[in-house]
Amino acid sequence: MKIGVVFPHQEIGDDPVLIRDWAQTAEELGYSHILAYDHVIGAVHDQREPALWGPYTEQDAFHEPFVLFGYLAACTRRVELVTGILILPQRQTVLVAKQAAQIDILSNQRLRLGVGTGWNYVEYDSLNESFDNRGRRQEEQIELMRRLWTESVVDFTGNHHRVDRAGFKPLPKRSIPVWFGGFAPVAFRRAAALGDGFIFGSGQQQNLEALAQVRLALAQQGRSEENFGLEALLNYQSGAALWRSEIEAWRDEGADYVAVRAQALRGQGDGLASPQAHIDMLSTYWQAVGDLAD
């Protein structure tokens, strides 16, 4: 079991020294990976039709994951860098493949690309991408990206993409792992069909219930769990009395990773008060649970 930490996008601020200190503290303590969320733009929720149901608005801060990981790759030596998740269909596929390849090359193969479809149609509109067919496009995006990472010249014709005998250099040294995230059965089915693993991002009980659905989807695809990764996001706000038992529950389920998050989260509590509080939290949590890590 590897224990990582979620990048506290809402409260970390914009001081590059504090961001560096947070990441280096996580690495020095022994955390295995840093997981970052993705939103390019936030939207006002009031007077929308259909309503925006997601937890973030124009008030919430997000650092762009690929730029952030380029910085963190230079600031760290060991920790894995994970998007959890990148909203893939609102981005240009070939550009994402290029950016991911560059992060993987410059970090010495430390990228794990978690992807999902998101919920904010205003964000899609602002990026000139269709919200309505995002799931189908995501499936094709993954197929195309894997070819771009492994073939020097790609000739690809799909329902949503055309690459006419082209490719990029340098190529990564591997096909970058693509994990899925999401909350609906369709996300579980896509992960079972196409993914290298799944990142569970709800509360503890909801995550365990979703695990059963992912396992069912894997069985329906004829895939073994042995070759499919599992990660659960845990909440610092659950309190010290539950920290160890939450990790142990996922260890008993055979999960490969967990990652703790301490930022503001709807239904889980407020975030910590300052960037320094997030740095201090890393030590507090690790002292309580670090011995459970591989």
CATH fold for domain 2-292:
TIM Barrel (3.20.20)
CB 257 within 8 A of CB 4: yes
pLDDT along the chain (294 residues), means of 10: 97 97 98 98 96 94 98 98 98 98 98 98 98 98 98 98 98 98 96 98 95 98 95 96 98 98 83 95 98 96
- Locate the domains of the chain by residue range: 2-292
Predicted TM-score (pTM) above 0.95: yes
Write down the pLDDT at residue 266. Answer: 75
